[in-house]
Amino acid sequence: MASGESRLSAADASAQAIQDRVRRELASFTEAERRVAHALLGEYPTAGLETVARFARRAATSGPTILRFVARLGFDSYADFQDALRAEIQVRLQGPLSRYRSRQGAEGLAVPHAAPYTAVAHALQRNIELAEHNLREVLEPIVARLSDPDRKIICIGGRFSWMIASYVHKYLRELRSGVRLVLERSDAWADYLIDIQPGDVVLVFDFRRYQRDVIDFAKAAAARRAEIILVTDIWYSPIAAFSDIVVPCPVQVPSAYDSGVAGLAVVEIITAAMVDALGERSRDRIATLETLRKPLNPGS
């Protein structure tokens, strides 16, 4: 560990997704530590909740390497590391009912009596700023994939996040061809999977209380060699383990419900960047669309 770097307790670390820190620091790890990192990310967080010996076997390395890896992340002990993972899981699985009970509690999102809606507005602003920061380093490869005319795009979301998937689908289908939105019940989703070709892009929105059928769809698409772009929360959907690009978005606000505003902001930023990237191609397509719409909308 570098001189002056502080150790983390489980309580300190629980506010930071361990998965996020591992991804960010991956390039600085030794070869053996990278094997541990990939083993953890590949089966997150389950791998980290195993014994040191089982985790070492999974990563094809030694127990001391596991302990060095945990120390590199800033933990005093393997037990502290596991406590932080368990704390993440607890936060991940929170639903609206549990947040009713904890609005004044550990998440630090208590609503001041004088101006409750101002607190919500400030939280939304902060979430958008953090999501934009997280998007910066991956925006270029996202836009390159979504702008490639040789790749089809499939958009999918869960019970609430489907709204964001639908929103980006409406934009993308105006800018380019070959964009589909996964509709219907999940027992019909094989109809979308069958047309996926290697290199196609699946744009997934999945936030905490992660949806099993969305996870299964993304996993099946990855098995068909689609590239997965995941927009998720700061605790990461399990889909992150097999995604090509991950955009984490803060979702916490002083409410019983998580906010989707940061996810919508990510969509708006990606769309603006795609308009610039596609240039005349998208302008000509939109002009043609407007011409085609006129006889279909006589009242407009």
Beta carbons within 10 angstroms of residue 60's beta carbon: 11
| Same domain, residue pair 133 and 82 | no
CATH of the domain at 196: 3.40.50.10490
| Same domain, residue pair 231 and 138 | yes
Structural domain span for residue 74 = 10-92
Query: Cα(93)–Cα(269) distance, rounded to whole angstroms?
Result: 28
- Tokens 């289908």 appear where? 173
Residue that is last in its domain, among 69, 92, 115 = 92
Among residues 39, 120, 32, which one has the least CA distance to residue 72? 32
| Same domain, residue pair 185 and 288 | yes
Q: How many residues does the chain have?
A: 300
CATH of the domain at 33: 1.10.10.10
CA dihedral 151, 230, 276, 272 (to 10 degrees): 140
Among residues 257, 46, 236, which one has the least CA distance to residue 218? 236
Residue that is last in its domain, among 77, 92, 107 = 92
Query: Cα(240)–Cα(263) distance, rounded to whole angstroms?
Result: 16
According to the model, what pLDDT value does residue 86 have?
A: 81
Tokens in use for 17?
């997704």
Residue that is last in its domain, among 70, 92, 114 = 92
The CA-based angle 37-43-45, given to 5 degrees, is 85
According to the model, what pLDDT value does residue 92 have?
A: 65
Per-residue buried b or exposed e for 271-291, using 16+ beta carbons within 10 Å of the residue's own CB: bebbbeebeeebeebeeeeee
In the three-class reduction of DSSP (H, G, I as helix; E, B as strand; rest coil), residue 257 is classed as coil
| Same domain, residue pair 157 and 242 | yes
Query: What secondary structure does DSSP assign to 137-174, as a single string?
Result: HHHHHHHHHHH-TTS-EEEEE-TTTHHHHHHHHHHHHH
| Same domain, residue pair 154 and 59 | no
| Same domain, residue pair 88 and 153 | no
According to the model, what pLDDT value does residue 65 have?
A: 95
| Same domain, residue pair 66 and 132 | no
- Is 98 a member of any domain? no
According to the model, what pLDDT value does residue 298 have?
A: 64
Exposed, middle or buried, 294 (CB in 10 Å: 0-12/13-18/19+)? exposed
- Is 201 a member of any domain? yes
Query: Cα(73)–Cα(14) distance, rounded to whole angstroms?
Result: 12
**CA dihedral for 99, 102, 103, 108, sign (positive or negative):** negative
Query: For residue 241, what is the DSSP state?
Result: G
Tokens in use for 55?
């985790």
Q: What is the mean pLDDT of each run of 10 residues along the chain (300 residues)?
A: 42 58 87 90 82 90 94 92 84 57 46 65 89 91 96 94 95 95 89 96 93 94 96 85 88 84 96 94 91 78
| Same domain, residue pair 83 and 135 | no
- The count of domains in the chain is 2
- Is 53 a member of any domain? yes
Among residues 193, 257, 262, which one has the least CA distance to residue 225? 193
- Is 51 a member of any domain? yes
| Same domain, residue pair 145 and 61 | no
